[in-house]
Amino acid sequence: MKSLWNDQEAAKFSGDLAQRVYSSRLLGRDPSLVLHGGGNTSVKVKEINVFGEEEEILCVKGSGWDLETIEAAGFSPCRLAHLLRLAGLPALSDLQMAKELKGCLTNPAAPMPSVEAILHATLPGKFVDHTHADALISITNTAAGRQRVNEVYGDRVVCIPYVMPGFKLARLCAELFRQHSHPGTVGLVLMNHGLFSFGDTAKIAYERMIELASMAEDYLARNNAWKLPASTLTAPTSSHRAELAAFRRELSGAMGGPAILTTHSDAAALAFAQRADVGEISQQGPATPDHVIRTKRLPLVGRDLAAYRIAYSDYFTGLAAKSGQQLTMLDAAPRVIVDRELGVLTAGRTAKEASIASDIYHHTMDIVLRATALGGWKALPAADIFDVEYWDLEQAKLRGAGRAPGFAGEIALVTGAASGIGRACVDSLLKRGAAVVGLDINPAITSLCARPDFHGITCDLTQQASLAAALEEAVRKFGGLDMLVLNAGIFPPGATIAEMSLELWRKVMNINLDANFLLMREAHPLLKLAPNGGRVVVIGSKNVPAPGPGAAAYSASKAAVNQLARVAALEWGRDRIRINSLHPNMVFDTALWTPEILASRAKHYGLSVEDYKTNNVLKTEVSSRDVAELAAEMCGPLFAKTTAAQVPVDGGNDRVI
């Protein structure tokens, strides 16, 4: 492992807290050390309080912040003296500990301190770093893990047996560290959990962490357990979109609402899923207790969700009875599915949750395989995993949390999504929590939005093979389809019927009508599996109710799609699919309306550009966002009992009225 510390970069961060920010980000940039909010860091500083007295303050990473992007505001300032007094208590419930941590903040607006704040307070050194280094977890999670830790580090670290994160762990660490540390101690190993380093400067603490993690990597390499065998397996080419959408619907039922389901058929995932012993090595538990909530206790091997739910219920019932507590069972749905044919599937209530589960499990696979090569993978016992999964702090979150609002867990597909109304529809749907797939013939669609809940696909909608491949890719990315926005189309140069070529007529019909028919036909099996019912919005045109001269092909194609939508409403109602149309008129913030064309059309009507843009009953300009917002609302609860509607978005057109 290579140190990323750069003295010139570090010099730009002035002061202890700024140095803490810099080195924390370095740790966060390495996913083999820290993943998605995992790990934490702290620094001890001095502040003058309201009485003019100097106080020692522990600034520890706050809840909700990731080390990779943390700012100074992400550190919670806690009174160090109070934390040390808490560490001396014989017992403290974790709920009471949480109250005490919140109460000892010098800034009540700061985020909730890490549950390991007391542990940070008891360790020496101004700066303390904590990670879940993959290499170390591979070593600790073996039958002879404690012995191997000693072989790696000797007496340079104090080794702590596994205790669930919280007050008990902090107290045990403080006690054992006092007993076993010496001037040469540079770190702390928490079995099955992670690694601590500390130092009087941010650089010393950081580089000690890198050194300790590197020593673990070197140990694995010496024991032929570091380099994993390469795989040449490739993703299956046959279509699986119907079965994936059906499985996602079943999974959504188990999760209590729509779920995102992402398929990972990379070589590593396929190699893991196709191991002869995958049923054994995948069923022992997560790599660290920090991963329990995001990946659940165990992955599902295969797709027998009913059997998994029964096994989970039995697991909960048995261990809940032993705990003697009143517990609410978390949903009995897996977040990771290991499938021999497809690889690894990850689920979440949002695309971000599914993405996080994927990142964690890909690291877990490497850890499991290295531990297996080292002498045998051994995770925490079921009772310890249960204690984390049903931790009273998590129970408190569960009681206070509801289902995410809007379109969370649902998937929308928008055609012609690279610009104009299509791009605005993408934004409106993302804003409401949907995962969105954008299709466009413009390759720029693939880089339209750099976020886990958007996926752009270059697609020629007039080519059936391209369309089928795009749908397959969309379903493998998010799991199914709930909403379809048919926006793509062309408006050809004006031509009278007498002047129009058959070639132009067919081109317009192919893009504006035939492509939409094909997409509707291919999307229907997916839409009928939508957990909350399928929804389709057709972006039509004012030319449907009020055609104009010189636009025969455009007007006829839009009218035909409108009629197609009406028939679909009749045929698809029994499948709980509703389909409605919007008819915009002259939306000027699109690529079609260049300044030159706009000026030309305004002059043709003897109007100024501004008057031309507001040439409607309400004297208002219609924007792409106006159309998109109504399209998104049509997919929502306000239109839950409406199908086959045609709604103008034109500011009022006298010919339509």
CA distance 632 to 588: 20
Chain-centre distance of CA 589, in angstroms?
31
Long-range Cβ contacts of 55-58 (<8 Å, 24+ apart):
55/79, 55/80, 55/81, 55/106, 56/80, 56/81, 57/106, 58/83, 58/117, 58/120, 58/121
Residue 396 has pLDDT above 80, yes or no: no
Q: Using alpha carbons, select from 409, 26, 426 the residue that is nearest to residue 251.
A: 409
pLDDT in tens, 489-537: 998 888 999 999 999 999 999 999 999 999 999 999 999 999 999 999 9
> Which of 657, 558, 650 has the alpha carbon at shortest distance from 613?
650
pLDDT tens per residue across span 185-220? 999 999 999 999 999 999 999 999 999 999 999 999
Does residue 87 have a pLDDT over 60? yes
Query: Taking a C-beta distance cutoff of 8 angstroms, is the pair 576, 534 a contact?
Result: yes
- Whether 59 contacts 17, CB under 8 Å: yes
Rounded-to-integer distance, Cα 278 and Cα 355, Å: 22
d(C-alpha 631, C-alpha 611), whole Å: 26
Tell me which amino acid residue 522 is.
E
Task: Give the pLDDT score at 394.
Answer: 67
Average pLDDT taken over every residue of the chain: 94
CA-CA distances (angstroms) from residue 557 to 511, 517, 561, 563? 9, 11, 6, 10
- Which residues are the active-site residues? 554
The answer to whether 297 touches 286, Cβ cutoff 8 Å, is yes
Reply yes or no on whether the pLDDT at 650 is more than 60. yes
Average pLDDT of the segment spanning 609-617: 94
How far, in Å, are 27, 55, 205, 214 from residue 201 at the CA level? 15, 20, 6, 20
- 322 vs 647: which has the higher pLDDT: 647
Least trusted range by pLDDT, from 187-191, 381-385, 556-560, 633-637? 381-385
β-sheet with 577-584: strand ranges across: 454-458, 435-440, 411-415, 483-486, 534-539, 577-584, 646-649
> Using CA atoms, how far apart are residues 325 and 323, in angstroms rounded to an integer?
5
Label the pairing between strands 343-348 and 260-264: antiparallel
pLDDT in tens, 225-242: 999 988 888 888 899 999
Return the ∠ at Cα 68 (arms to 65 and 71), rounded to 5°: 55
- Among 123, 156, 132, 99, smallest CA distance to 43 is for 123
N-terminal to C-terminal alpha carbon distance within the chain? 70
DSSP code, position 78: E
Which of 78-82, 305-309, 398-402 ranks highest by mean pLDDT?
Answer: 78-82
Q: How far apart are CA 295 and CA 302, in angstroms?
A: 16
Q: Quick: pLDDT tens for 273-286.
A: 999 999 999 998 88
Q: Longest Cα pair distance anywhere in the chain, in angstroms?
A: 97
**123, 153, 358 from 184: Cα distances, Å:** 14, 12, 39
In the chain, the domains with their CATH numbers are 7-222 (3.40.225.10), 241-400 (3.40.225.10), 411-587+622-649 (3.40.50.720)
pLDDT of residue 421: 96
- Residue 398 — very low, low, confident or very high, per pLDDT cuts 50/70/90? low
Please report the sign of the dihedral spanned by the C-alpha atoms of residue 34, residue 40, residue 44, residue 46. Answer: positive
Do the beta carbons of residue 449 and residue 429 sit within 8 Å? no
pLDDT at 592 over 80: no
Whether pLDDT at 353 is above 80: yes
Residue 290 has pLDDT above 90, yes or no: no
What's the pLDDT score for residue 404? 66
Of how many residues is the chain composed? Answer: 657
Structure tokens at 232: 């040449």
At residue 141, the 3 state secondary structure works out as coil
Q: From CA 657, how far away is CA 647, in angstroms rounded?
A: 12
Tell me what pLDDT residue 294 has. Answer: 80
94-103 helix and 80-87 helix, angle to the nearest 10 degrees: 160
Q: Angle, nearest 10°, between helix axes 305-323 and 382-389?
A: 90
CB contact at 8 A, 545 and 536:
no
CA proximity to 453, closest of 260, 322, 297: 260
User: pTM value?
Assistant: 0.93
The answer to whether 21 touches 72, Cβ cutoff 8 Å, is yes
Q: How confident is the model at residue 36 (pLDDT cuts 50, 70, 90)?
A: confident
Tell me whether residue 497 is exposed, middle or buried, using C-beta atoms within 10 angstroms of its C-beta: 0 to 12, 13 to 18, 19 or more: exposed
pLDDT tens by residue, 445-498: 999 999 999 999 999 999 999 999 999 999 999 999 999 999 999 988 889 999
Which helix (H) or strand (E) segment holds residue 196: the answer is strand 194-199
Query: Measured in whole angstroms, how far is the alpha carbon of residue 262 from the centre of its chain?
Result: 10
233 touches 270 (CB < 8 A): yes
Phi and psi angles of residue 190, each rounded to the nearest 5 degrees, phi first: -100, 115
Distance CA 290, CA 225 (A): 24
Residue 309, both tokens: 């739910």
Query: Could you tell me if 649 and 586 are in contact, meaning their C-beta atoms sit under 8 angstroms apart?
Result: no
Cβ atoms of 364 and 273 within 8 Å: the answer is no
The CA-atom distances, in angstroms, between 274 and each of 229, 247, 270, 339, 365 are 14, 20, 6, 8, 12
d(CA 232, CA 270) in angstroms, rounded, equals 9
| pLDDT, tens digit, 9 for 90 and up, residues 115-163 | 899 999 999 999 999 999 999 999 999 999 999 999 999 999 999 999 9
Give the pLDDT band of residue 600 (cuts 50, 70, 90): confident
pLDDT at 230: 87
pLDDT at 71: 97
Element (H, E) at 648: strand 646-649
User: How far is it, in rounded angstroms, from Cα 514 to Cα 269?
Assistant: 38
* Alpha helices by DSSP H, 189-291: 202-222, 241-255, 267-273, 278-281
Nearest to 36 by CA among 269, 436, 352, 299: 352
Query: Closest Cα to residue 439, out of 241, 431, 419, 453?
Result: 419
For residues 61 and 68, give the distance between their C-alpha atoms in angstroms, rounded to a whole number.
12
Higher-pLDDT residue of 369, 394: 369
pLDDT confidence of residue 14: 96
Determine the Cα–Cα distance for residues 377 and 365; give it in Å rounded to an integer: 11
